[in-house]
């Protein structure tokens, strides 16, 4: 009688390996969710900085801030030759991952503003933000350590 040795894994061994891989995948996936929300917050803070720079360049040339940031070609145009609009400094307003960016400004003279974004997590950048305490009506700007978290900046 001939004896053959069959090498391989049993069904039980394969099921155990699949279960272990499934558990490790679940652990990694839950850790990635936090990293994704922090990445979205970083994008919001970076976008606010880009918009702020464009507003400051516009103000330097026009001595006033534009009436809106949603459409860079709209709003006040300087009387310079050629006419300057916000799109001279930023071609497209960055789009936040979720929500919108708030832009609130003085009416006359337009020498002050606040840009805001709601963050998903507490961030050290909140300590660097400004607090306007309803100076612009609906602008919400706090450095609270409990949700919701609002990051706001004003003129430099």
HEC profile of 7-58: CCCCHHHHHHHHHHHHHHHHHHHHHHHHHHHHHHHHHHHHHHHHHHHHHHHH
User: The tokens of 155 are what?
Assistant: 């003129």
**Residue 76 included in any domain:** no
Residue 32: pLDDT band (50, 70, 90) is: confident
Longest Cα separation, the chain: 103
* Ramachandran angles phi, psi of 66, nearest 5°: -65, 160
pTM (two decimals): 0.71
Residue 77: pLDDT band (50, 70, 90) is: low
**Residue 118 included in any domain:** yes
**Residue 6 included in any domain:** no
Q: Is the pLDDT of residue 19 over 90?
A: yes
User: The tokens of 17 are what?
Assistant: 């390996």
Range of the domain at 32: 13-53+97-153
């Amino acid at each position: 009688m001939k004896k053959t040795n069959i090498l391989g894994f049993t069904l039980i061994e394969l099921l155990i390996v699949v279960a272990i891989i499934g558990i490790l995948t679940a652990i990694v996936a839950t850790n990635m969710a936090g990293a994704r929300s922090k990445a979205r917050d970083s994008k919001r803070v970076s976008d606010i900085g880009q918009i702020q720079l464009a507003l400051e360049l516009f103000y330097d040339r026009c001595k006033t801030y534009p009436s809106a940031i949603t459409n860079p070609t709209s709003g006040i145009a300087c009387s310079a030759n050629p006419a300057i609009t916000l799109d001279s400094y930023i071609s497209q307003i960055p789009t936040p991952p979720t929500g919108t960016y708030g832009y609130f400004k003085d009416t006359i003279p337009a020498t002050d503003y606040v840009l805001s974004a709601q963050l998903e997590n507490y961030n050290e950048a909140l300590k660097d933000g400004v607090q306007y305490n309803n100076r612009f009506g609906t602008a919400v700007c706090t450095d609270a350590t409990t949700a919701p978290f609002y990051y706001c900046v004003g003129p430099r």
